[in-house]
Structure 1
């Protein structure tokens, strides 16, 4: 009976041992020189529910690592390691979880040796002075921006106060102020060349015609004829006539009255005079300009004589 119990115990132990996964950490060398690289491989003979650790080292550095591979029902992950300090360093035990059960790998010792230098065969050189870093654009960009801004301001100042002013002076036309009568005749001839009423622009024609006559009266008699109404202008002319300060006839005043009234009808009542009437108004405008003048001022000495 005891013999059977012993066999059953050994069988259960063997099954339990067989079911325990194998976790292993291996390196291809235990001795390297500073800067040399070596390989670390962590393997687990199980593929389901396996969690590999994040490798944490002291004194050694990870150069590269591969993704976890599956090979013959095992998980394998490889690392490329190196060391830059001499000495002995441990790759600590790595905790691996398989089906929520933790397993530990063995710790591994790596010796990092310095490179022996034969000073008798190494050529000696004098100690070099500190070399300055080469200049880059960032070293000068602030000065470049300041220079460009200053040039832009200077350029704008030269253009605005020198070139532009000179250009305006060159382009600005020079006019000779004509006397009131000559200016009125010149503008009447210009109005004829526009052919306004011939192109059915009667309102524009009368507006410009009366503006020429009003402008002549304003300059010649020195009154605000352009701003005043027709009645106000006619009243001023009558006052000047009664005061005997202008040289004109009643016929000229009647022509002025007829012209201004006709222009008001065209502009405000949309009247459309005939061609003969328009031509007659044009002649009247020139007669008004020619025959409406202020009396010359007679000095006291001339009166005594």
Structure 2
């Protein structure tokens, strides 16, 4: 019972210990140096607590550091154990001491505390290769040539043959591949004809007569925007009304109908977004403006008796 408080006190200390898996190696052999730090969990979990393991250089006196493992953390009862392994070697024969390693500890007792833990040096014997001096020395052998063997180059031969076969196969494939017959494109509906048909369908559905004002103007403006996009290359479906009015300026025919288009878009925007209830005359007038814009910008038809090789005028 008298020794119990001393044992508990020892467990509350932060300790750093270094060890090696062997104390005797031959030149060039490797030895693993283990660095372990034991910290009470109560101190380890403090917000200001930090512990820094040493950063060993690649070369020490009589030793070379080959590899370093990451710092592992394990829990054992109420202790935190930090562990790191250094793989080192030596090319100098003799008895050498691996130098002490320093572990820096911050915030163990309070936020401003600092301490340095230093391990003991490790004694390692580096031995040379034993030579039997009782036997006679043998002369150095001359350089000998190895006889050529085709099987030593089978991978290169197989690779070259595969490349040749692949090239031959591609040549035969492209040579015998049937030529593609050009597709004959059927005449498509022109943007003008499509827009005229859509306006006719919209009139027959009588949306505004049924009270669906917002749907009527949404369909009406979408038909015009799609016509502008396909006929004149304007990204009308992605633009606001003001952006569309600005972008039609370079198109001469379309710009001449700008006032009609502005009036139509203004009423449509108010009906779609401000819940305006236009009159019956305004509904009919917007449809009439849309038809007039289509007719004004309708592309000219080529004469039926035009020569087949004659290019249309731009």
TM-score, normalization by structure 2: 0.35
TM-score, normalization by structure 1: 0.36
| Higher Rg | 1
